[in-house]
Chains A and B, each alone.
Chain A
Amino acid sequence: QKEVEQDPGPLSVPEGAIVSLNCTYSNSAFQYFMWYRQYSRKGPELLMYTYSSGNKEDGRFTAQVDKSSKYISLFIRDSQPSDSATYLCAMSETGTALIFGKGTTLSVSS
C-alpha cells in the first residue's frame, strides 16, 4: 500500500459547483497535512495547512483531517475557472520532509 493515495482524476465540473478532493494515507505518525495547488508548468503553491485533526476554512476553501480514518479532504465552494489546476495533498511527521500524493487534476468550465 502506498503511503499516500490520491485519485488523479481528471475531475471536470461546471462553474459554481462544489468540489471535493480527497487523500488517504497509511502512516499514523503523520501530523502535518497540506494542500498545494499547481498550475500547468509552474511550481506548487501552498493552499491550506492543518495540524493534526480538524477543519480549517479560508474563503471558498475548507480542509478537513480525520486521523481516525486516515483521510483528508479539500472542499472548494463556488468553483471558478481560475481554480482549474492540479491539487496535491502532502503530509509529514515532522513538518519538514513532505510526502505528496499524485495530485488530482481539476477543470472548471464556465
Chain B
Amino acid sequence: NAGVTQTPKFRILKIGQSMTLQCAQDMNHNYMYWYRQDPGMGLKLIYYSVGAGITDKGEVPNGYNVSRSTTEDFPLRLELAAPSQTSVYFCASNPGTSYEQYFGPGTRLTVT
C-alpha cells in the first residue's frame, strides 16, 4: 500500500493563477480531508468528503473547491491564487470505522 499520496510536493504560483492539488489513497477509505497548515499553526480543515459524490465545507473553505468522483481521489482546486493561500496542504483519509486519520506527506505551496 502506498497509503495517501499527494502531488506535487512543491509549487510556486503567481497571484491569480489556478492549480489543482492531487490526493489519492489506495486503502479504500470512504472519508477524505483537506487541511492547510500555516507556520506555527495547527491544521485547519478546508473540505472533507464522506464518500464519492459527497463533499462538505470545513473551517476555511473560501478560495477552494473540491470534487470526489471516485473513492480513491480527492483533488483540491485553487482558483485565483492569493498570497494568503501560501501554506502546506495535507490530505488525509480514514475508513469511517475508526477515528484515525492517515495523512499524506503534504504539498508546500507559495503564492507570490
Q: Which residue from chain B places its CB closest to the CB of A45 in the assembled complex?
A: B103
> Considering only CB atoms and an 8 Å cut-off, how many residues of chain A contact the other chain?
24
Contact B105 A42 (CB under 8 A): yes
For B79-112 the 0/1 string (1 means CB < 8 A from A) is 0000000000010100000011101111000000
Contact A95 B99 (CB under 8 A): yes
For B26-61 the 0/1 string (1 means CB < 8 A from A) is 000001010100001111110010100000001100
A-B contacts counted at CB < 8 A amount to 52
Contact of B45 among A6, A44, A45, A98 (CB under 8 A): A98
A49 interfacial contact with B, CB 8 Å: yes
**Complex alpha-carbon distance, A97 and B101, angstroms:** 10
CB-CB under 8 A from A92, the residues of chain B are 99
Interface residues of A (CB under 8 A from B): 4, 6, 8, 32, 34, 41-46, 49, 88, 90, 92, 95-103
Give the 10 A-B CB pairs with smallest separation, nearest first.
A43-B103, A100-B42, A46-B100, A100-B43, A102-B42, A95-B99, A101-B42, A44-B103, A102-B41, A43-B90
Known interface pairs A90-B43, A96-B31, A103-B42; 6 further A-B residue pairs with C-beta atoms within 8 A, sorted by A's residue number? A42-B106, A44-B43, A44-B103, A88-B43, A90-B42, A102-B42
Between A and B, 22 residue pairs with Cβ closer than 8 Å are A4-B42, A8-B40, A34-B99, A41-B106, A42-B105, A43-B103, A43-B105, A44-B90, A44-B103, A46-B100, A88-B42, A96-B31, A97-B48, A97-B58, A98-B43, A99-B45, A99-B59, A100-B43, A102-B41, A102-B42, A103-B41, A103-B42
